[in-house]
Structures are given as structure tokens and as C-alpha cells.
Amino acid sequence: MWSTFWKKYVKQNESGTKGFVEVNSAKRSGRLFIPRSRRLTLDVLHFHRQVDTCAHDRQFDLSKIAGLRSRLPVRISWAVLFIKAFGVVAANRPVLRQTFQRWPWPHIYQHAHNVAMLATHRIHQDEPWVFLSRFEKPEERTLINLQTSLDSCLTEPVTKAFRQQWELSGLPTFLRRMFWWWTLNVALGKRAHRAGTFFFTTLAGKGVEIQDPPSFFTSNLTYGPLDEKNRSRVTMSYDHRLMDGSTVADCLIELEAVLNGSISDELATMVPETRETSR
């Protein structure tokens, strides 16, 4: 029995999810392997349970930025706009770059700069995956540069674009959790680079809102579909040990102002000038 189990486990890890596909037949019942594509998500949920989060939302008026975006000669995704805008907010608010640490004693660690992590859906080996795309210092980068990075994460082979996450998913659970725990609790100088300082996810493109994005970050951001007036519900979940609802409300107000301010200004510089031609 154990030899058969081990052979299937090894086959699964050597081929990604092919071993799972063989077992996960619609005509069979019984115990199934957890597919490799779900392991990173399980890890995030495991450490999410250790963070006491709450969530608040605010209706954003995005009509100005939506109008500018529709006139652009190139596509700039809403995710990129929100990531850069929140980077501006977080750069001016150190609490958004802090993490509450329990080990070896309760204390707060503050990171020097922002690293945004974006939930990125990919299909790999016929299985749906969620990877984390990394954007360091998004507030200092142009929208074009951020969009180019995002396009690479969406189009490059998974084993290249997310090599470390792909390799991590192939390890046994206890080794993966050991790596995550070490990164999140001990190697704090590298935590921001490896795991980011804030998290962004959305399903607005599918017409769906996320009520409370689960993650282990101090602050997590999401937005819902735009209505007929180009208004959207923007939700921020946060570590209640580090900040209160009043601070989050101020962050959301400031985020909307940045989107309709400096972000809209940058978009305006990208809109082609329209010149009337004389007849």
C-alpha cells in the first residue's frame, strides 16, 4: 500500500499535476491527491489564519480615470493603476509597510519600501494556478513600466515568470511551511522582497466582488466592477493589531484622491493630442 502511495506521490511531483489527473477521474471515488496547483494557496490560507484582519470599503468615483483610460493608445489595466496609487499612499504611511511579529517576542517590523504582490491567475499543465506577481517600489515606476511587468507575468512560461514559486510548490508541505515561516518570522530583511508588503487581488473583470481578500499581509486591496456611473466599491482588509478603522478610512479617501490626482495626470500625458484639421 505505502509503496503504491509513494510511487503516485513521486509521479505527481515529477510531472507537476499529471499524477493527480490520473487519479482524479470522474469515474472514480476515494482519496485524491491535493494537486500541486493548490499548494501555494493552501500555504497562504494557513498563514492568513494567524493574522487578525478586518475589512472596510468605500465607493470610489472613477469616472475621470475611466474616461482617460478609454482614450489611451495602449492598455493600462486597472490593477496597475490601483497598485501604483496604493504604493503612493503606503510610501507616506509607514504603518502600511509594517508587520506585527510574534516571534521571538511581540514587536513591529517596518520595511523600508513597498513591494506589491498581485494575485495572478494562470493555466499551467491544464490546471488553474494563482501565483503572486511582484512589483517593487510601484510608486516610483511609470504606468507603462508596471504594465510591461504585468504582461510578462501573464504571458511568459510559468516556470520562468514564477520560477521560485513553481519550485516551492513541488516541495512537501512541511518543507514549504518551514520556508514560509522562516521568511515571515525570521528573515525579515528579505521578507518584503520575497513576500511583499501589500497584496492586491480582484475579480472585477468577471463581474464579481471579493468581500475580504485572504492573505497574511498587513493591508490587502480589492475593487469591484464599475457601475454605469463608473463607480466602484473598493475594499481594504487590514491587520487590526497595527491600525484601526479610522486609519483605513483615511487610506481609502487618500487612495481615491491619488487615483483622481497624480495617476490621472500621468494618464493624461499618455493620451494622444487631438488636433482639428482645417478644410
pTM of the full structure: 0.88
For the stretch 20-61, pLDDT in tens is: 444 445 667 888 889 999 999 999 999 999 998 999 999 999
pLDDT surpasses 50 at 192: yes
Q: Is the pLDDT of residue 277 over 50?
A: no
Average pLDDT of the residues in 97-121 = 97
User: CA end-to-end span of the chain, whole Å?
Assistant: 85
Question: Is the pLDDT confidence value at 247 over 60?
Answer: yes
8 has pLDDT over 90: no
pLDDT at 24: 47
The H-or-E segment that residue 100 falls in is: strand 98-101
Model confidence at 276: pLDDT above 90? no
Cβ-count burial 174-205 (b if 16+ within 10 Å, e if not): eebeebbbebbbeeeeebbebbbbbbbbbebe
Structural domains of the chain, with CATH: 35-270 (3.30.559.10)
